[in-house]
Amino acid sequence: MKHIISALVENKPGVLAQVAGMFAARAFNIDSLVVGRTEDPKLSRMTIVVIGDDRVVEQVRKQLAKVVPVVKVQDFVGEPVVARDLMLISIVAPPEKRPEILSLIEMFKGKVVDLGLKLVMVEVSGPEAKIEAFINACKPYGIKSVARTGTIAMPRTAKTEP
Amino acid sequence: MASKSRSSASKAVSKDNSSLKTGAEIIVDTLIKLGVDTMFGYPGGVVLPLFDKLYDAPINFIIPRHEQGGCHMADAYARASGKVGVVLATSGPGACNLVTGLATANMDSIPLVAMTGQVRTELIGNDAFQEADTTGVTRPVTKYNCIVKDVKDLARLIKEAFHIASTGRPGPVLIDLPVDVQVNKASTDGPDKIELPGYRIRTKGHARQISMAAEAINNSRQPVLYVGGGVIIANASDELRALAQKANLPVTTTLLGLGSYDQSRPESLDMLGMHGTAYANFAVQECDLLIAVGARFDDRVTGKLDSFAPNAKIIHIDIDPSSISKNVHVDIPVVGDAKEILAEMIKEVKPQPRKKWFSKIAEWKKKFPLRYDKNSSQVKPQYVIDELWRQTKGRAIITTGVGQNQMWAAQFYHFSMPRQFISSGGLGTMGFGLPAAIGAQIAKPDMTVIDIDGDHSFNMTLTEIPTAVEHNLPIKVCILNNGYMGMVRQWQELFYGRRYSKSYLANPDYATVACALGAVGKTCDKKADVPKVIKAMLAEKRPCVVDFRIEREENVWPMVAAGKSLDEMDGLDILERLI
Ligand SMILES: Cc1cc2nc3c(=O)[nH]c(=O)nc-3n(C[C@H](O)[C@H](O)[C@H](O)COP(=O)(O)OP(=O)(O)OC[C@H]3O[C@@H](n4cnc5c(N)ncnc54)[C@H](O)[C@@H]3O)c2cc1C
Ligand SMILES: Cc1ncc(C[n+]2csc(CCOP(=O)(O)OP(=O)(O)O)c2C)c(N)n1
Ligand SMILES: [Mg+2]
């Protein structure tokens, strides 16, 4: 099962290496890992998507909490959350196909961010499933390259953080 | 000196120069304030500023012959004393030589602070001379590590390192110290209070969980206490004894738990696990309640997981939440410090006779005691240990190598005091025994310290004999010399059709080696000589190495082969045939 785990970490050098190293050393599988700043300059948030049964994910949670600069760990499984990925995708778009492609982009509420002679670059964000669906829809035209952020998430009911 | 300073910190801090200290001074002052009076370490280019400050510091400084040895010494110093061990090494090769020692301490939860020199901050990442990414190399084998980039952070980071190393589930912490940080100046002694928002330790157990555990004990007909190194770390032996005696509970310990419970008491089941006693393993397999205290369900203890303690409800008392339900599902977890939790539990447990259970245990004890062939004409390793135990009245500190020697020491020296048995359990580091004996002897100068070692384990770190000689340490080394990597040979005998592939190496004459290195060396190859050789060894004031030429193909029994259940022990028939 897929779990979105959110970890508030102290904004110190070496934290990412400590967390990533722990995952590797304990043979936990990471689907994605996103690190970014938060409202507090002393803290960063890592959003980690892991796949595993309950026992494995419980260990992930406990082992994460054990990493010294990790301040708080939350597993969002079973909670109402807003989870989003961001993607930049470059699609093969010769002039005759452009109307079709543009309406596809429209359907997915994507944004054209760059246009070349043969390629169009699109920005799409949303739940992971939507991103996957967009990729699939673009496949027939040819995909040049994809850059994705991985998931970030926040619970829907406002919760107070430390 | 102040006039020559190129310190950037001295510019930043607007105080007069007299209150400024160099990084090296800050380190030494902080260590002394933290109560450090003994250190182990080896010099090198980028730690010279620090070594210069140590020149006249009131710290007993022991220089090993190899940094690995120094790290094991600091580790054993910590195990014997309960204090934090401190080890120092230079950058690059020095730091890399600490790795085995750090991993050893990390696996066994030993409080250690390692300090390493590092190249100047502006050279880091440039493949500078003797540069290694020390925090990168040691991250997986430490509880925590960091590099100090600014002298202003130095005192705080050292204090944090000691705090992290010694609290919660202890472990080694490494601080990497670029040479310029040792030279730069700052005025700070660091904060008085440590603030680590991500590091919170829960020591007090949850009252409801404790009551549930006590109730389970009161309702149990066939309970077993399964005790690990955590009880020794927690200094909780008194509470453990009080609980076991009030509630009438049989007690088995892990290898690392040896000494936490007096093995001469009738309710002691001695060690469990792969080479544990039959009565401990049977009791675990048949118990209806297993009370694990400061033990981590290691695979050498549980055997095949699916069939471990199949009828038991499991209580697990441990300070590390990630220890709980890691390998075995736990019914009643109690997170916190063993000492505090046991003290609470004692109040709630009720005396119970459990006559039937104890008589069953007594039968197993009678039928399957640990035994060896006393009629053999050869020097049996178990006999040597038996005799050591008798002559030291069971009061020596025992360190070990790894392999058969370690298992025989665990089986045949009966421990009654915590911190009396010092052995590398989790990593199983050959070569631990001798430096560990040195570290333990420094921590406990008045005790008899004996390294019960294997020939090949001893080979790995015998270079530390001169360290013992230099410091006049009366350590004893008893090499159980079978000429083999005995434990490897035993597995090859049992599982690889007696093909003794590469498990034999020619050994030197250890008595000669010992003498050449300045110690006393003896050889004992006759059974009849064992008592008098041991007597002479114990009387020695200098380091003494005795080469016991033991029966070469003796095996350790019983044995739970890998993948077998705890009650499927090999060798019981062999033991039964002996009288
Ligand atoms: C050749 C060889 C053979 C071996 N055979 C055996 C064998 O037959 N039997 C055996 O038992 N071992 C054996 N071992 C050792 C084994 O590998 C493990 O090292 C050992 O079993 C672990 O002991 P432990 O469970 O007590 O854990 P430790 O490693 O001592 O862990 C301590 C536990 O206590 C917890 N703790 C720490 N502080 C506290 C506190 N204040 N309060 C509460 N909890 C705390 C920690 O979180 C941890 O979970 C063998 C090793 C070797 C090398
Ligand atoms: C550093 C290290 N290398 C290899 C091993 C694997 N190993 C475990 S026991 C053993 C043999 C030990 O031989 P010896 O010290 O003579 O002890 P004995 O079993 O003969 O008592 C070996 C090679 C180890 N535990 N540690
Ligand atoms: Mg040997």
In chain A, the N- to C-terminal Cα span, in Å, equals 28
Same-domain status, B34 and B88: yes
Q: Which ligand is nearest to the CA of B236?
A: 1
DSSP state of B484: B
Mean pLDDT score, B465-480: 98
Provide φ and ψ at B302, rounded to 5°: -85, -25
Q: Which ligand is nearest to the CA of B382?
A: 2
The torsion region of residue B431 among left (phi > 0), alpha (psi -120 to 50) and beta comes to left
| Nearest residue in chain B measured CA to CA from A62 | B322
Separation of alpha carbons A35 and A69, rounded Å: 14
- Cβ contacts of A59 on chain B, cutoff 8 Å: 322, 326
Interface of A with B (CB under 8 A): 9-10, 12-14, 17-18, 21, 25, 55, 58-59, 62-63, 65-71, 162
- Cβ contacts of B135 on chain A, cutoff 8 Å: 14
Same-domain status, B323 and B410: no
Mean pLDDT score, B335-358: 97
Range list of β-strands (E), B23-179:
38-41, 60-62, 85-89, 112-118, 144-147, 172-178
Same-domain status, B269 and B309: yes
The number of C-alpha atoms within 13 Å of B388 and in the hemisphere containing its C-beta is 31
Same-domain status, B172 and B219: no
Radius of gyration of chain A (CA): 19
Same-domain status, B302 and B428: no
A81 strand-pairing partners: A155
Cβ proximity of B558 and B412 under 8 Å = no
- Cβ contacts of A70 on chain B, cutoff 8 Å: 198
Separation of alpha carbons B284 and B301, rounded Å: 10
Same-domain status, B133 and B253: no
Radius of gyration of chain B (CA): 25
Same-domain status, B363 and B389: no
Separation of alpha carbons B38 and B76, rounded Å: 12
The letter for the amino acid at B458 is: F
Same-domain status, B329 and B389: no
The string over A38-66, giving b where at least 16 C-beta atoms fall within 10 Å of a residue's C-beta and e elsewhere, is eeeeebbbbbbbbeeeeebbbbbbbbbbb
> Could you give the ipTM of this predicted complex?
0.90
**d(CA B299, ligand 1 centre) in Å:** 10
pTM to 2 decimal places: 0.95
Same-domain status, B218 and B351: yes
| Nearest residue in chain B measured CA to CA from A23 | B140
Supply the pLDDT for residue B19.
83
Token pair recorded at residue A4: 């979105």
Name the 3-class secondary structure at B540.
Answer: coil
Judged by CB atoms closer than 8 Å, whether chains meet at B140 and A25 is answered as: yes
| Nearest residue in chain A measured CA to CA from B133 | A14
Separation of alpha carbons B418 and B421, rounded Å: 7
- Cβ contacts of B333 on chain A, cutoff 8 Å: none
Supply the pLDDT for residue A160.
55
Q: Residues with beta carbon inside 6 Å of ligand 2?
A: B 401-405, 428-430, 454-457, 480, 482, 484-488
Token pair recorded at residue B485: 């990597």
Name the 3-class secondary structure at B1.
Answer: coil
Domain with CATH 3.30.70.1150 in chain A: 82-154
Judged by CB atoms closer than 8 Å, whether chains meet at B321 and A65 is answered as: yes
Domain with CATH 3.30.70.260 in chain A: 2-75
| Nearest residue in chain A measured CA to CA from B139 | A18
**Residue A34, min C-alpha distance to chain B (Å):** 19
Which residue's alpha carbon is at the smallest distance from atom 25 of ligand 1? Answer: B295
Supply the pLDDT for residue B264.
97
Q: Which of A18, A55, A62 sits opposite B322 (nearest CB)?
A: A62
> Which residue is it, tokens 């301040």?
A71
% of chain B beyond a pLDDT of 90: 95
Interface residue of A40, A66, A72 to substitute, partner B, most B CBs within 10 Å: A66
Chain-centre distance of CA B149, in angstroms? 32
Q: Is residue B578 part of a domain?
A: no
Same-domain status, B182 and B247: no
Q: pLDDT of B174-202, one tens digit each?
A: 999 999 999 999 998 888 899 999 999 99
DSSP string, B170-221: --EEEEEEEHHHHHSEE-----SS---TT-----SPPHHHHHHHHHHHHH-S
Q: Is the CB of B320 under 6 A from ligand 1?
A: yes
Separation of alpha carbons B350 and B337, rounded Å: 22
Judged by CB atoms closer than 8 Å, whether chains meet at B139 and A68 is answered as: no
Separation of alpha carbons A33 and A4, rounded Å: 10
Which residues of chain A have a pLDDT value below 50?
Answer: none
Cβ proximity of A148 and A87 under 8 Å = yes
Token pair recorded at residue B447: 């005790």
Separation of alpha carbons B267 and B3, rounded Å: 69
Separation of alpha carbons B87 and B442, rounded Å: 14
**d(CA B405, ligand 3 centre) in Å:** 7
- What CATH code is carried by the domain that includes residue B232? 3.40.50.1220
- Cβ contacts of A68 on chain B, cutoff 8 Å: 143-144, 164, 196, 198-199
Q: Is the CB of B338 under 6 A from ligand 1?
A: yes
**Residue B544, min C-alpha distance to chain A (Å):** 41
Supply the pLDDT for residue A27.
93
Supply the pLDDT for residue B465.
98
Q: Is residue B54 part of a domain?
A: yes
**How many Cβ atoms sit within 10 Å of the Cβ of residue B352?**
17
C-alpha distances (whole Å) from B372 to each of A16, B383, B484, B555, B576 are 54, 8, 19, 10, 10
Specify the number of domains making up chain B.
3
Helix spans in B55-150 (H): 67-81, 93-97, 99-107, 134-138
| Rounded (5°) CA angle A66-A71-A73 | 75
Residue B16: pLDDT over 80: no
Supply the pLDDT for residue A78.
86
**Segments forming the whole domain that contains residue B484:** 381-557
CATH 3.90.1150.10 for the A82-154 domain, yes or no: no
**Residue A162, min C-alpha distance to chain B (Å):** 10
Supply the pLDDT for residue B189.
84
Q: pLDDT of B496-550, one tens digit each?
A: 999 999 999 899 999 999 999 999 999 999 999 999 999 999 999 999 999 999 9
Token pair recorded at residue B412: 């045949």
Same-domain status, B434 and B514: yes
Q: Is the CB of B309 under 6 A from ligand 1?
A: no
Q: Which of A21, A62, A69 sits opposite B198 (nearest CB)?
A: A69
Token pair recorded at residue B539: 């009387």
Q: pLDDT of A39-75, one tens digit each?
A: 999 999 999 999 999 999 999 999 999 999 999 999 9
Judged by CB atoms closer than 8 Å, whether chains meet at A66 and B326 is answered as: no
Q: pLDDT of B382-422, one tens digit each?
A: 999 999 999 999 999 999 999 999 999 999 999 999 999 99
B560 strand-pairing partners: B569
C-alpha distances (whole Å) from B343 to each of B316, B338, B352, B417 are 15, 8, 18, 19
A8 strand-pairing partners: A45, A72
Which residue's alpha carbon is at the smallest distance from atom 41 of ligand 1? Answer: B234
- What CATH code is carried by the domain that includes residue B395? 3.40.50.970
Higher pLDDT, B486 or A2: B486
Separation of alpha carbons B201 and B528, rounded Å: 55
Token pair recorded at residue B529: 């000589």
| Nearest residue in chain A measured CA to CA from B163 | A68
Mean pLDDT score, B51-70: 98
Separation of alpha carbons B87 and B31, rounded Å: 12
Residue B3: pLDDT band (50, 70, 90) is: very low
DSSP state of B47: G
**d(CA B439, ligand 2 centre) in Å:** 21
Separation of alpha carbons B319 and B336, rounded Å: 4
Separation of alpha carbons B445 and B467, rounded Å: 15
The candidate with the shortest Cα–Cα distance to B170, out of B229, B222, B221, is B229
CATH class of A2-75: alpha beta
Separation of alpha carbons B575 and B131, rounded Å: 55
Q: Is residue B523 part of a domain?
A: yes
Burial group, residue A81, by CB count within 10 angstroms (0-12, 13-18, 19+): middle
**Residue B136, min C-alpha distance to chain A (Å):** 8
Q: Is the CB of B234 under 6 A from ligand 1?
A: yes
**Residue A70, min C-alpha distance to chain B (Å):** 5
Interface of B with A (CB under 8 A): 135-136, 139-140, 143-147, 149, 164, 196-199, 320-322, 325-326
C-alpha distances (whole Å) from A43 to each of A15, A65, B49 are 11, 15, 35
C-alpha distances (whole Å) from B21 to each of B3, B67, B516, B533 are 13, 28, 45, 55
Same-domain status, B221 and B360: yes
Angle of helix B486-495 relative to helix B404-412, nearest 10 degrees, comes to 100
Which residue's alpha carbon is at the smallest distance from atom 17 of ligand 2? Answer: B454
Q: Which ligand is nearest to the CA of B433?
A: 2
Mean pLDDT over the full length of chain B: 96
Supply the pLDDT for residue B194.
93
Mean pLDDT score, B95-100: 98
Separation of alpha carbons B150 and B157, rounded Å: 10
Supply the pLDDT for residue A157.
76
Residue B5: pLDDT band (50, 70, 90) is: very low
**d(CA B106, ligand 3 centre) in Å:** 26
Q: Which ligand is nearest to the CA of B562?
A: 1
Q: Is the CB of B425 under 6 A from ligand 1?
A: yes
Q: Which of A9, A25, A58 sits opposite B325 (nearest CB)?
A: A58
Contacts of A100 (CB under 8 A, 6+ apart): none
